[in-house]
Amino acid sequence: MTSRPVIDDLSSFWMPFTANRQFKAAPRLLESAKGMYYRTTDGREVLDGSAGLWCVNAGHAREEIVAAIAQQAGTLDFAPTFQMGHPLAFEAAQKIAEIMPAGLDRVFFTNSGSESVDTALKIALAYHRARGEGQRTKLIGRERGYHGVGFGGISVGGIAPNRKAFSGQLLPAVDHLPHTHNLEHNAFSKGQPAWGAHLAEDLERIVALHDASTIAAVIVEPVAGSTGVLIPPQGYLQRLREICTKHGILLIFDEVITGFGRLGKATASEYFGVTPDIITMAKAINNAAVPMGGVAASRTVHDTIVNSGAQGAIELFHGYTYSAHPLAAAAAIATQDLYRSEGLFERADALAPKFEAAAHALRGEKHVKDVRNLGLVAGVELDSRDGAPGARAYEVFVKCFEAGVLIRFTGDILAFSPPLIVTEEEIARLFGTVRDVLATVQ
């Protein structure tokens, strides 16, 4: 393969969630990837400690997925799914339905996590309307929640910088649960923290304030990822489920990060034994090889909407040109087959204790004020520099990259989520590099 010359003018691409001027002054450019490793344009190998952006769970450039996409591109490059269909769309939906919690077997396809979230919120509103409770319009999110960047997602989301510039035009009928992060009680918890289930009771307060008859849905990430890895306290999600059921409120789990093996099970719902009414997914659905997202709805939610319209009428006025795009669907089928044939969820489960031990070995290192983990996700929170929040973690991130390891950071929290094919040696290298780098950072 001949590689293209490295472009020297980076100005045209307005980069997402990036300090554009800073980046373009000292760019980090990736040229290729295979398995656990990226290769940079200057020929260095970089261990992928973040599965790209929490999405390449089967490792990079897997031959089975590459072949499925190539084959599909030459056979049926595009097909509409509005009043039309193609077999792979149905096959992909069926494969995903099979590994969703029992009953959540109706799958709507999107192209991203943000679209999945907005789709799920719309489905919740449509569901209540179809059953004659159209006044249930309020949506309850959670502080520090990340649900993508659509107006629906940032409205129910709780990441202040993502909302600030758009605050005048967020969805009006939204409230937020408190987040569950508290280092006084939960610092250095291994797995689910013992303290904090009572925070779910705040939902009763919100219900009392607005009245249940006005609330459509509660949306939370079962494990909050982008805000810096917040693990749900023991019993917390169960309690949210009970309160939602009691008041006829739909529970939506945003599984865009937890979906597909990150916790050692197909979904976090399965891991925690808590079944929501709707699950959003994206990222690892097809190993991020082609943009794709999805929403799994319960039979009840689906049937209520689909059976409510007149025969021949469109039941849900919603969808995307690229919903179930043939290349994305082909990649999803190949990916799900690979997860199964290689037992990657079981592998993640088996590796989790080693991953936990390696992460928690950073306790006591300079600047480290918390380590938290579940499955193959870990967060390491650093003390912030006075007056410069985020600067220390950014320096750690850059130095790790220079040392050949890719990690994520949010504020002063480092996040780890390697592909599920990671080896024990690579786990050791990942956290060992961070330890070495921390020692050099002021």
Ligand X SMILES: Cc1ncc(COP(=O)(O)O)c(C=O)c1O
- Decide: is 227 part of the binding site for ligand X (CB under 6 A): no
Nearer to ligand X, 221 or 381 (CB): 221
Q: Which of 49, 52, 101, 113 binds ligand X (CB under 6 A)?
A: 113
For residue 416, the cross-strand partners are 378
Enumerate the H helices of 342-390 as residue ranges.
Answer: 344-360
- Decide: is 257 part of the binding site for ligand X (CB under 6 A): yes
Binding part of the chain for ligand X, among 22-30, 163-171, 219-227, 374-382 by CB under 6 A, reads: 219-227
Do 406 and 434 touch, CB atoms closer than 8 A? Answer: no
Nearer to ligand X, 294 or 326 (CB): 294
Nearer to ligand X, 49 or 113 (CB): 113
Nearer to ligand X, 330 or 377 (CB): 377
Nearer to ligand X, 282 or 305 (CB): 282
- Decide: is 147 part of the binding site for ligand X (CB under 6 A): yes
User: Number of residues in contact with ligand X, rule: CB under 6 A?
Assistant: 14
- Decide: is 233 part of the binding site for ligand X (CB under 6 A): no
Binding part of the chain for ligand X, among 235-243, 253-261, 304-312, 358-366 by CB under 6 A, reads: 253-261
Q: Other CB atoms closer than 10 Å to residue 97's CB: what's the count?
A: 15
How far apart, in whole angstroms, are the C-alpha atoms of residue 292 and residue 113? Answer: 8
How far apart, in whole angstroms, are the C-alpha atoms of residue 309 and residue 301? Answer: 14
- Decide: is 431 part of the binding site for ligand X (CB under 6 A): no
- Decide: is 101 part of the binding site for ligand X (CB under 6 A): no
Q: Which of 108, 146, 236, 253 binds ligand X (CB under 6 A)?
A: 146
Buried b (16+ CB within 10 A) or exposed e, 379-414: bbbbebbeeeebbbbebbbebbbebebbbbbbbbbb
How far apart, in whole angstroms, are the C-alpha atoms of residue 149 and residue 19? Answer: 17
Contacts of residue 295, Cβ cutoff 8 Å, sequence gap at least 6: 107, 108, 110, 116, 119, 120, 123, 278, 279, 280, 281
57 closest CA partner among 295, 385, 332: 332
CB of 441 to ligand X, least distance (A): 26
Q: Which residues bind ligand X (CB under 6 A)?
A: 112-114, 117, 146-148, 221, 225-226, 254, 256-257, 282
